[in-house]
Structure 1
Amino acid sequence: MAAPQYVFDTKHDRYPLAVHVFLVQQGNILLMRRAGSGYADGQLGLPAGHVDLGETPTACAVREVAEELGITLDPGELRAGGTMFRNSQEPRVDIFFTTRSWDGTPEIREPHKCTELVWADPEQLPEDALEFIGPAWNDAQNGRVLREFGFTPVPA
């Protein structure tokens, strides 16, 4: 079967689509100290990555976690935890997943992008965790489907 051909509508703006994964173990989540990307280097973030052309968000989560941490996720064990339209270096759409199950032991597989792994209590995140992680965790736990983050509210 031939790969699908994609035709993009160039009449509309596009936003980067990224996936983030909450790996949960004994009530803690795994954070990664960012390095070398030019965005939030030195801060703690989640395993994450951009969705490639033709890839689903679930497939992206499985791929990124394998590349970054060397562990294998079962796509059936991933739970959608919310979506965030977030103002970062540019507006972007983030999809968050949560899982408590994986094969292997997380380890740094891309030392040029990550310098440390930290298990943290998601209710008391370290001060240097990216500011959107707490709200995203709260959304995942409480069933909030969409959050707009980092934008100036529209006056009433």
Structure 2
Amino acid sequence: MGERLEPSQWYASLPSFLSSASALITDPSGGSVLAVKPNYRDHWNVPGGIMEAGEPPHLCCAREVAEELGFELSLGRLLVVDWVPPTELRKAWFGFLFDGGVMDDPSRISLQSEELEEFAFVARTDLRSRLTANTADRVEAALLARKSGGVAYLFNGAVVQHASPKVPRPT
């Protein structure tokens, strides 16, 4: 039998992950998604960002939206969880996407100039030309989840389909 580790040592030996939390915000028609253009990347993204140590996803999302767009968001339910495998550059990634509702007055946006260049409402048909493929997959899954009332679980941008086994209920 191996040496037993103290809880702090055992927890320190476990793998760690990166996580982000973002908001799906649409125009009143629901056909266009609010996207922001970071000044440190070529591609666009949806409002949100990296979770701080110990920060829950929903609070991260609200904080990041307030920082990036300059207003407090009444955050809705979780729409998507996406697990993205590690690369040579980074650890594995959990991406959470929450329902940020509908924005009928874009003049409320006060863009954070330290990180963002501009914002735009992007038509669903143009998502793939502005966002990375993985982010576009996540946004498309979120739009469907918003409509269906469900939550999408993605693996690297692809919806994971699970057969629901029939589990007998206790009588």
Q: TM-score under structure 2 normalisation? A: 0.70
1:145 and 2:147 matched: no
The equivalences for 1:57-72 within 5 A come to 57-72=57-72
Q: Where in structure 2 are there 5+ consecutive unaligned residues?
A: 1-7, 159-171
Distance 1:150 1:64 in 2: 22
Distance 1:17 1:123 in 2: 27
Q: Where in structure 1 are there 5+ consecutive unaligned residues?
A: 1-6, 152-156
Distance 2:59 2:73 in 1: 10
- Aligned with 2:118: secondary structure? strand
1:114 is aligned, of 113, 116, 119, to 116
Q: TM-score under structure 1 normalisation? A: 0.76
1:29 is aligned, of 28, 33, 40, to 33
The equivalences for 1:1-156 within 5 A come to 9-26=11-28, 27=30, 28-36=32-40, 41-75=41-75, 78-87=76-85, 89-90=89-90, 91-101=92-102, 105-109=108-112, 111-125=113-127, 127-140=129-142, 141-142=144-145, 143-149=150-156
Shift of 1:107: 2.5
Query: Aligned AA for 2:100?
Result: T
Q: How many residues are treated as equivalent by the alignment?
A: 138
Question: What value does the CA root-mean-square deviation take over the aligned residues?
Answer: 2.5
Higher helix residue share: 2
Checking the alignment, whether the CA contact within 8 Å between 2:82 and 2:156 is kept in structure 1 is yes
